[in-house]
Amino acid sequence: MGTTRLTSTFLAALLFVVFAVPATAQDADEATKQYTLANLRAVRDLNCDALRRAKLAMRQADIHRSEAAHAPPGVKGSIEQRLRDSEAAASAAFEESGRLKRRLQRMTDAYVAARKLEWYQDVDQAVKIKLEEKIVVAREIITDGCS
């Protein structure tokens, strides 16, 4: 249980450091220019990891729930505590996944908008084709989801 808390704390700290909200509008504009496809994939992978942890915790909660129904009274208290812990872990992981999903959507919107702006500003057709491909890949990152 301590390893799970340590991992969750580490991921939360990492997310805070990497995706801290910019202080000014100029910083926000610079941040949207710095989004890359790798950033989008990293956030999607974090979202998928949070979903996997949530599903695992829900399965554990289901197991504890069925154990609690058939457990003798002396053991029932510890099983119910594990059930509550599993449900809390699942809830936290689902909330984290939701935040990451919203973050990924905002990042993708900003990335696509920046690439469209570059597309309109550039006259070279080869560059425009590459920008279109990047926009398609960014949109695929959201629609593909977790495997």
Per-residue pLDDT tens for 108-122? 999 999 999 999 998
pLDDT of residue 69: 85
Domain residue ranges in the chain? 37-144
Q: How many CA atoms lie within 13 A of 63 on its CB side?
A: 9
Share the mean pLDDT of the chain: 83
| 4, 34, 45, 100 from 15: Cα distances, Å | 16, 16, 12, 9
Phi-psi region of 145 (alpha: psi -120 to 50; beta: other; left: phi over 0): left
pLDDT of 23 above 50: no
3 pLDDT tier (thresholds 50, 70, 90):
low
Tokens, residue 73: 């009274």
Angle of helix 73-121 relative to helix 25-34, nearest 10 degrees, comes to: 90
d(CA 54, CA 32): 30
Q: Which of 19-23, 27-31, 72-76 has the highest mean pLDDT?
A: 72-76
pLDDT at 145: 78
Q: What is the pTM of this model?
A: 0.71
Question: What is the total residue count of the chain?
Answer: 147
